Each structure stands twice: as C-alpha cells, then as structure tokens.
Amino acid sequence: KHFGTNQNDFTGKKVLITAGPTQEAIDPVRFIGNHSSGKMGIALAENLAKRGASITLILGPSQSKVNHPNIRTIPVTSAQEMFGESLSHHEVNDICIFAAAVADYAPMEPASEKIKKSDERMTITLKKNVDIAASLGERKASNQTHVGFALETQQEEENALAKLRKKNLDMIVLNSMRDRGSGFKHDTNKITIYLRTGEKVVSVLLPKTDIAKLIVDTLKKQLLKKI
C-alpha cells in the first residue's frame, strides 16, 4: 500500500525518539508507572524509518515490538535513565520527538529491600523528575527541530501552547481526551498539532499509523520552511 509515495524523503536525517512509560522504583519489586503502551512513539519511529531516517528509539518498558533495520532501540526503565540516554544522544540528531509518558515524580529514596507490610497507612515521598523535553530544549541548536506531545483534560489549547513555549518546541501534538478511542492503550488517536509559527493541523480519529504519517508530513513541511 502507498509503495513509493514518501519513500526516502527522510534519508540522511537522524531522529531521536523517546517513547513508552517510565517506571520509578519504590523498592526492588515495586514501581510507580503509567498505562502508556509506547505505540504512538513506535509508529512514528516506523514511519520515519520507512522513509529513510535513522532512528534512535529510547523506549521505556513496553510490550510492543519494534523491528526495522533503521531503528536502534535503547531500552530504559526510569525517567532518570531515559534522560541520561537522551542527553548523550541528543547532539547528533536533526529531529527529536518526545513521545514518552515520563513519570513526573519518583520515590525520593527507593528502599533497597522489599518493604514489609506494617501500619494501616504508609507514605512514600516523591521528588520531581527531570523534564527531558525542557532540558534538551535548552540545548537545542538552530538546525535541530523538537516535537513534543501533550495530554490535557482542560484548557487544552492554552496548556498545549504553554508547553510548546516552555519546552522550546517547534511543534506540539495535543492528544484529544474528549473522544472515545484516543490516547493510552488505544490503536486510534485524534490530535491537533500546534506549530511554533502559529498554524494548527486538526485530525479526525485515525489509526496510530495514520496519525504518525500526518505528524511526519507536518514535520516535513516545517523542515522545508527552516531551510
């Protein structure tokens, strides 16, 4: 299907993608996590790989399989680990896509032994994790393009645009929570893409593979403008 249409339009481009959830250790056998499947980030990696790009996929714990010669997968567990790998690979990439559902907080002092059950109540103190997109945004060179995601339940547009600016992104993809069948765990998604230049692109409910194509096609237009 569509053989040859976008073939090789990303040849020579290096792309870093974060995807999947992160897991933050409470003790050696427990963690704080989230329901991200990693599917959106993987769909983006596969679309770009098919179009000739070389992908470094920094992937949190995910059941989804990735198999393309142009995709190098670096498995990670925690936000801190994802940050370390993202930072060490950042500089050589033309495009960075932050599709991971990074835990905002992690247990301050993970226990080294399994925590025994005791009182009726127990408290785990959390500390804020590093913001990978914002931190790499500060290091972004003029020839690099950064793409982020946002999931909002209120004031969607305002919050998405605030994240675009705060993280120094060129594009932000807002996942609509309003529609059944979009977001976590689903194979379909409905999105709005906000560009730094003020334009926006709105999709209907589509399979994640088609959403990936729409994001990559929009990204391509942005890149052409940059040159």
- Distance in Å, CB of 44 to ligand CTP, minimum: 12
Asked whether residue 170 is marked as a ligand-binding residue, the answer is no
CA distance 40 to 186: 10
> Whose CA is closest to 205, among 184, 185, 193, 187?
187
Cβ contact 216:15 at 8 Å: no
Q: Is 221 annotated as a binding residue?
A: no
- Closer residue to ligand CTP in complex, CB, 52/107: 107
DSSP character string of 48-110: HHHTT-EEEEEE-S-------TTEEEEE--SHHHHHHHHHHHHTT-SEEEE--B--SEEESS-
The catalytic site residues sit at 34
Q: Which of 71, 100, 193, 219 binds ligand CTP (CB under 6 A)?
A: 100
Who's near 63: CB < 8 A, 6+ residues apart? 37
SS3 label, residue 206: strand
User: Is residue 150 close enough to count as binding ligand CTP by CB under 6 A?
Assistant: yes
222 binds, among ligand CTP, Ca ion, none (CB under 5 to 8 A by kind): none
Q: Site for ligand CTP (CB under 6 A): which residue of 104, 156, 179, 210?
A: 104
Q: With binding defined as CB under 6 A, does residue 81 bind ligand CTP? A: no
Which one of Ca ion, ligand CTP, none is in contact with 55 (Cβ closer than 5 to 8 A by kind)? none
**Residues 86 to 125: which contact Ca ion by CB under 5 A?**
104
DSSP 21: B
Instruction: Find where tokens 């993280």 sit.
Output: 167
Question: Which of 15, 59, 133, 164 touches ligand CTP (CB under 6 A)?
Answer: 133
> By C-beta, is 66 or 133 nearer to ligand CTP?
133
> Looking at 43, 48, 95, 102, which residue binds ligand CTP (CB under 6 A)?
102
The binding site for CTP comprises: 104, 114, 149, 163, 167
